[in-house]
Structure 1
Amino acid sequence: MNKAISESAKIWGLRLHLLFYVLANLAQIVVWWAVDQEHFFWPLWSIVFWGIGLVFHYWGVRTAPRSNTGHRTY
């Protein structure tokens, strides 16, 4: 069963995703800075890979859905 999600719900979801991305990564940076400054900047992994997921989320919200025209139904 497919449910259509409204455009405003998609944008709201993207904004929440972005908010949690920023807050979580800022928290990790603060912990790194307070505890482990002299070692490798380990929050980089979360920033990069979660950022990739965020880009795909943005892309999914901003691109138009494909239509099913041209597909055969049996």
Structure 2
Amino acid sequence: MRSAKSESVRKWGLRIHVVFYVLANLAQVVVWQRYDRDHFFWPMWSMVFWGIGLVFHLLGVYSPPRSKADQ
């Protein structure tokens, strides 16, 4: 069920989510590369699990609205 938010507000929310995803994971990769390069690539966990949440956000924004009969 769609909320009262407009389509543009949902898309802006997704864009902000993507920007923070990229910046936060880039910062983690820089920290890993600078201080912990010889060990396991631990930023992968943030990328994978936050990425799953980002995919669900993307699906929520771009999926077609459900009809009343489907509910």
With the length of structure 2 as denominator, give the TM-score of the two structures: 0.91
Distance 1:68 1:33, change over 3 A: same
Which residue in 1 is equivalent to 2:63? Answer: 63
> Going by fraction, where is helix more abundant, 1 or 2?
2
Distance 1:69 1:30, change over 3 A: same
RMSD value, Cα? 1.6
Which residue in 1 is equivalent to 2:45? Answer: 45
Which residue in 1 is equivalent to 2:26? Answer: 26
Give the drift of 1:67.
2.2
Name structure 1 gaps, 5 residues minimum: none
Provide the identity percentage: 63
Give the Cα separation in 1 of the matches to 2:50 and 2:67: 29
Work out which of the two has the higher radius of gyration on C-alpha atoms and give 1 or 2: 1
- Following TM superposition, where does structure 1 have runs of at least 4 consecutive aligned residues deviating by more than 4 angstroms? none
- How many positions carry a matched residue from both structures? 70
Bigger drift between 16-25 and 59-68 goes to 59-68
Give the drift of 1:8.
0.2
